[in-house]
Amino acid sequence: MTYKGIVRGKVVELESGVALPEGTEVEITVKDGQQEKLTPTPHPRGSPQALLKFLDAPPLCTPDDVEVLLEAIKEGKRPLRFRGIFDQGSKTS
């Protein structure tokens, strides 16, 4: 499940109507670019070392993001054409 809320000091106030039991573990994803850089890197931007470090980092998308992407890919599929534009006059199919 996904809930929205606002940070006030060191407390996250969830949207109205959400009541989680005491001790519930949560994971917070910052959405509006206020994320701090997670780990400083001594490698220059765009260097092979920096790219390898980036590729080793976990993705910044949620399972919901993946589902939306897969659905968009599915909706965007086009039927295959086995005949090319130059095959219009051809009798073979």
pLDDT at 91: 61
Q: How confident is the model at residue 38 (pLDDT cuts 50, 70, 90)?
A: low
48 phi, psi to nearest 5 deg: -55, -40
pLDDT at 70: 93
pLDDT at 41: 63
| Chain length of the chain | 93
Tens-place pLDDT, residues 46-70? 888 888 887 887 777 888 999 999 9
pTM of the model: 0.30
Tens-place pLDDT, residues 9-37? 888 888 888 888 888 888 888 776 555 55
DSSP for 14-64, written as a single string: EPTT--PPTT--------SS-PPPSS---SPTTSHHHHHHHHHSPPS--HH
More confident residue, 93 or 9: 9
